Structures are given as C-alpha cells and as structure tokens.
C-alpha cells in the first residue's frame, strides 16, 4: 500500500515533464524523419497532454468505461490525454449498489488503463445528491450520515494511492441567489456533512488531493460566493480540502464569464489548487474555438490551476451531444476547438510549482473537532435505537471483533470487523473503552451510544444479520488517540 502511495505521489511531481519531453522528442523524430533536430521539438507539444505537460499541467477527459472497447475512442484517449475521470463508474450507485456491498470492476478497469498509460486519475465523486443507490432513499438522519461516511471511507480506501484527486463532494450548493446549500437528503443530515466527508476521505487516502466540485461557480456569483465562504472557513479551521473543481459547462446562454480567471484566482488565494473538471462548450467553428482558448489561457495564467479535464472525447460521447460541445467530432476528427486549445496550451503560461503532497497527518491538533453529528431531522428507524439495558450478556462464541486503526497526531479512524460465531447473528453490539483524551466525532454503519469513555456500537438495519462465520464492518472517527484495549462483541 505504501509502495503504491509513494508511486502515486511521485507521479504527481516529476513524470508529466518527463513525459512531455519524451513526447516532444518522439514527435520531433517523426516530424523531421532522420534529420533529427531536437531543439525545435522542445517547445511545442503536438498532443493536448504533451502541450499541457510543458507547463506542468495535465489535460484530461471523462471516460465512459464501456467505450474502452471502441478503438477510435481509445486511440484518441491514449494519444491525447494524461488524466482520466470516470464519467459514472465511481459514483455511489455504481460502487455500492447494496448497503456495504461494493462493486469496483468498472472503476478498477479505468484505473488500470490509466496506470498502464501513465495517466492520472481524478476520482468522481464520493458524495453527491444524485446517482445514489436506491437503498439510500429510505435513510435519513444519522443512518444516512453514517452510510455516506462509510461509502466515502470504503471507496477512498479501495483506491488509496491510485487517485490523484478526489471530487469528495459534488454540487452541494444551490443555484440562484441564495448562496446557500442545496436541499438534499445529505444536507438534511446536518450542515457539517461536507466537512465530515472530507475528514473521512483524508483518513482513508491521505495521499489524494481532496476537492469540492460544482457547476455554475465559474464566475463570481452568489453560488460561487457560497462555495468560496465554505472553502475559506474550511482552510481556517483545518478541514482537509486541497482543491476546488470548476465544471465549466458553457452554453450560448451561459458563456465563459468575463471574470472566469479572476474567480479561479480568488480561490487559489485561499490556499487551494483549482482545476477545470468537466469542460464542454456548446457550439461550433471559431466561436467555440475562441471560448476553449479563453478557458485554457485563464487556467495557464494561474500557476495553481493545475489541470483541465474535458467532459468526453467526441461530440457523440457527450452527455449533451446535441450541443456538439467537445474537441473531436463524431468521427474522431479534430475540430477547430481542438486546434485553438492546442495552440493556447503551446503558447504557455505560468508553470505549476512542484506539488507538495497533502499532509499525511491530517486534522491539525489545534482545530476543534467538528461538532458531533447533529440529531437527525427525522426519527431514525426503531432498529437503530440504543440497546435496552436488559440486553442479555454475551454468550460464548456469539461473535468476535478485530479493530484496525488509522491514527494521526490528534485523531483516528477505527474500522471494526464483527465476525459471527457458528450460530450467526440477528443483531450485534460492540463495547469498548476509549482512552481519556478521545472523543468520537462520526460513526458509520452502526448506531453509537456515548462519545467518550465506555462507548458501544449497535448494528443498524442493513448489517444486523450476519451469517455463521461471516463478517461485517463498521467504523468511527474521533479526536485524540484511538482505542487500544479489547473490543467485546455480543448478540443483541
Ligand atoms: O449531470 C451532468 C454532469 C454534471 N456534473 C457531474 C457529472 O457527474 C454529470 O455527469 C453526467 C454523466 O455524464 C451522465 O452520463 O451525469 C449524468 C447523470 O446525472 C449521467 O447520465 C446518466 C444517465 O442519467 C443514466 O440514465 C445512465 O444510466 O448516465 C447513466 C450511465 O450511462
């Protein structure tokens, strides 16, 4: 795991330049045949990825994994792009179709492809109000909060060390003039759901950059002001956020805003990186080409605008194909927008400074812990109420626990595995005693009682039944030092 992690961080710093140089050299060789003149080849990239790499940036695309069998698609992907984002395959509905049952086959396929071709991976997205699995529809309050945190933890752990940047939270702000949060089932679990998601993601994959991602935030407006205030607050309180993604879906009605660059810059001034994450621009010909060029120039003008991702390869691959918003037409032929994008990249700009990987010791000790999960706005289902005091004492061999601890200076995440004995379980409760400096701040896949000292965790509706010899996991996050003693498990 550490090995993978190290390889990933390394990939973030040096290889893009190396790849650019190699690509340029290779291109130079092809272009001038045997009369090798390397000097000329050093300045101009002949692909989007190589040209972007000359300034230390990546040029990426969203990928639909089922198109990886299309040779034209894959040919362009491998030739032009140095980063990929799963269009749908890493979303909650795709990765956790049933509670705590994870399916990673499609996402894994994309990550393997990316690794084979030296591309980075942007993970999309850990927590979003859309494309949730159906089973979340009946959850609210603590149960939904815990399910979300478990999802973030499990998925980020699965991909640990292989993701350059995660869109941890997607599209959580409302459109229109309020500048406030969007109403959603996640928002109704309490305002602190976003920071809880970021803390869980950092604990699960300390090497990935953690980003907030949204649309209609590309210029300064009430919505981007709301995101800005959140990022400023997170930075001030040490909530682990490294970057903000600007989707940049532009149309005739909603063109590239005049203050696009200024808006990106004000976020950078808060201490985060910015990336353009789902770029597509409705239109055709020179007006579309000019808009692409403006976007690229804005990013290149900002040293901490570290990469651009378009939201697909050919117009026909787009989720809004009738807008013909991408760089290649349906045949895979380069459009004028491709040429203007490549030219803008080759015109150069600021160089991305060497990346400092995110801290491996997250939440600063000086920061107060997030408020504990607020009371659910709706009453949790009866199965999640705390154990009655009359619970029978544990019978020998009912179940066993093992605790794995991920701790840093000032905090920890504990993952507890409950394994059923020969009779199986219809409900379980795990008791343990925390060190005196520890406080539980978030729990997933269990209902907890107590946040300090002696605490207990009880199964919730979807993980109470455990077959003979089978296991289930729950977890919790806290400040202070993590549990060291034995956790006891009993039938409930
Ligand atoms: O909503 C458009 C984009 C806005 N920003 C976040 C992105 O994640 C989002 O991407 C699009 C995908 O490109 C579409 O492919 O998200 C859509 C859903 O909001 C995706 O569409 C869905 C269809 O709605 C489903 O019917 C389909 O099963 O794609 C699914 C997989 O093909």
70 Cβ neighbours under 8 A, 6+ residues apart: none
Residue by residue, DSSP assigns 185-243 as: TTGGG-TTHHHHHHHHHHHH-TTSEEEEEESS-SSSSHHHHHHHHHHHHHHHHT----E
- For ligand 1, the distance from its centroid to the CA atom of residue 117, given in whole angstroms, is 25
pLDDT above 90: percentage of residues in the chain: 72
pLDDT at 20 over 80: no
> What pLDDT digit, counting tens, does each position of 103-135 carry?
999 999 999 999 999 999 999 999 999 999 999
Q: Which residues contact 175 (CB under 8 A, 6 or more apart)?
A: 182, 216, 223
Task: Read off the pLDDT of residues 249-266 as tens digits, 9 standing for 90 and up.
Answer: 999 999 999 999 999 999
Which of 173, 279, 319, 322 to probe ligand 1 with, by most ligand atoms within 8 A of CB?
319
Query: How long a stretch of residues is the chain?
Result: 492
In this predicted structure, what is the pLDDT of residue 364?
Answer: 40
Average pLDDT score over residue span 225-242: 98
Assess whether pLDDT exceeds 70 at residue 366: no
Q: Nearest CA to 490 among 439, 454, 456?
A: 456
Residue 182 has pLDDT above 80, yes or no: yes
Give the residue-averaged pLDDT of 86-99.
98
Rounded mean pLDDT, 455-465:
87
Strand, coil or helix: 279: strand
Torsion of CA 309, 315, 316, 321, to 10 degrees: 90
Q: One of 54, 80, 87, 171 is an active-site residue; which one? A: 171
pLDDT at 27: 38
Q: How many angstroms separate the CA atoms of 409 and 238, rounded?
A: 13
171 is known as an active-site residue: yes
Q: Flag whether pLDDT at 61 surpasses 70.
A: yes
Taking residues 30-43, report their average pLDDT. 37
Interatomic CA distance for residues 403 and 93, integer angstroms: 28
Residue 485 pLDDT class (50, 70, 90 cuts): confident
> For residue 197, what pLDDT band results from cuts at 50, 70 and 90?
very high
Average pLDDT value for residue range 184-191:
98
Residue 390 has pLDDT above 50, yes or no: no
* Residues 57, 196, 437, 406, CA torsion sign: negative
Q: Is the pLDDT of residue 246 over 60?
A: yes
Q: What is the pLDDT of residue 394?
A: 44
* pLDDT higher than threshold 80 for residue 455: yes
Strand order in the sheet with 428-433: 447-449, 454-458, 428-433, 488-491
- Cα(325) to centroid(ligand 1), Å: 15
| Residue 248 in this model has a pLDDT that exceeds 70 | yes
Cα 248 off chain centre by: 17
Given the residues 89, 278, 282, 473, select the one marked as catalytic. Answer: 278
pLDDT > 80? residue 2:
no
Nearest alpha carbon, ligand 1 atom 13: 319
**pLDDT 10s digits, 316-357:** 999 999 999 999 999 999 999 999 999 999 999 999 987 655
pLDDT of residue 135: 98
**Distance between Cα 411 and ligand 1 center (Å):** 36
Share of the chain above pLDDT 70, in %: 82
What's the DSSP call for residue 394?
Answer: P
Measured distance CA(101)–CA(151) in Å, rounded: 10
- Range from 215-224, 285-294, 469-478 carrying the lowest mean pLDDT: 469-478
Q: Is 25 exposed, middle or buried (0-12, 13-18, 19+ CB in 10 A)?
A: middle
pLDDT digits (tens, 9 = 90+) for 63-81: 999 999 999 999 999 999 9
What mean pLDDT value characterizes the chain?
85
pLDDT at 11: 37
Centre of ligand 1 from the C-alpha of residue 91, in Å: 10
Q: Is 131 in the pocket of ligand 1 (CB under 6 A)?
A: yes
Q: Where are the beta strands (DSSP E) in 98-214?
A: 120-128, 165-170, 209-214
The verdict on whether 278 is a catalytic residue reads yes
Asked whether 57 and 352 are in contact (CB, 8 A), the reply is yes
Cβ of 449 closer than 6 Å to ligand 1, yes or no, is: no
Give the mean model confidence (pLDDT) for residues 85-99.
98
The CB of 280 under 6 Å from ligand 1? The reply is no
pLDDT for 405 equals 79
């Amino acid at each position: 795991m550490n090995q993978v992690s190290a390889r990933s961080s390394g990939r973030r710093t040096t290889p893009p330049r190396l790849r650019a140089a190699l690509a340029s050299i290779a291109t130079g060789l092809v272009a001038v045949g045997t009369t090798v003149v390397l000097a000329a080849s050093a300045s101009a990239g002949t692909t989007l990825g190589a040209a972007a790499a000359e300034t230390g940036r990546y040029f990426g695309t969203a990928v639909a994994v089922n198109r990886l069998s299309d040779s034209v698609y894959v040919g362009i992907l491998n030739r032009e792009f140095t980063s990929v984002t799963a269009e749908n395959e890493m979303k909650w509905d795709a990765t956790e179709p049933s509670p705590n049952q994870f399916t990673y086959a499609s996402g894994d396929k994309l990550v393997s492809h990316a690794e084979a071709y030296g591309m980075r991976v942007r993970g999309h997205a850990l927590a979003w109000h859309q494309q949730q699995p159906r089973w979340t529809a009946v959850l609210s309050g603590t149960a939904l909060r815990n399910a979300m945190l478990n999802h973030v933890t499990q998925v980020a752990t699965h991909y640990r060390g292989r993701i350059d940047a995660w869109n941890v939270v997607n599209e959580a702000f409302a459109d229109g003039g309020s500048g406030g949060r969007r109403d959603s089932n996640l928002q109704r679990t309490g305002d602190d759901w976003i920071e809880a998601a970021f803390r869980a993601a950092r604990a699960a994959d300390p090497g990935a950059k953690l980003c907030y991602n949204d649309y209609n935030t590309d210029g300064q407006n009430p919505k981007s002001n709301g995101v800005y205030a959140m990022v400023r607050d997170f930075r001030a309180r040490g909530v682990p956020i490294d970057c903000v993604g600007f989707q940049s879906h532009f149309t005739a009605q909603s063109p590239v805003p005049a203050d696009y660059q200024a808006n990106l810059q004000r976020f950078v001034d808060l201490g985060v990186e910015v990336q353009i994450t789902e770029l597509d621009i409705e239109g055709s010909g020179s007006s579309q080409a000019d808009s692409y060029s403006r976007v690229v120039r804005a990013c290149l003008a900002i040293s901490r605008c570290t990469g651009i991702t378009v939201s697909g390869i050919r117009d026909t691959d787009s989720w809004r194909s009738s807008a013909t918003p991408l760089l290649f037409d349906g045949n895979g032929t380069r459009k004028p927008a491709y040429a203007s994008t490549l030219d803008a990249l080759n015109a150069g700009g600021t160089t991305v400074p060497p990346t400092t990987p995110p801290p491996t010791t997250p939440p600063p000790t000086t920061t107060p812990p997030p408020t504990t999960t607020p009371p659910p706005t709706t009453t949790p289902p009866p199965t999640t109420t705390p154990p009655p005091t009359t619970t029978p004492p544990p019978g020998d061999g009912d179940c066993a626990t093992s605790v794995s601890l991920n701790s840093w200076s000032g905090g920890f995440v504990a993952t507890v595995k409950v394994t059923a004995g020969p009779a199986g379980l219809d409900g379980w409760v795990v008791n343990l005693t925390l060190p005196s400096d520890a406080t539980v701040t978030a729990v997933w896949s269990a209902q907890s009682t107590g946040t300090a000292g002696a605490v207990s965790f009880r199964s919730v509706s979807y993980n109470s039944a455990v077959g003979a010899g089978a296991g289930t996991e729950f977890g919790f996050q806290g400040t202070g030092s993590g549990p060291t003693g034995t956790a006891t498990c009993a039938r409930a």
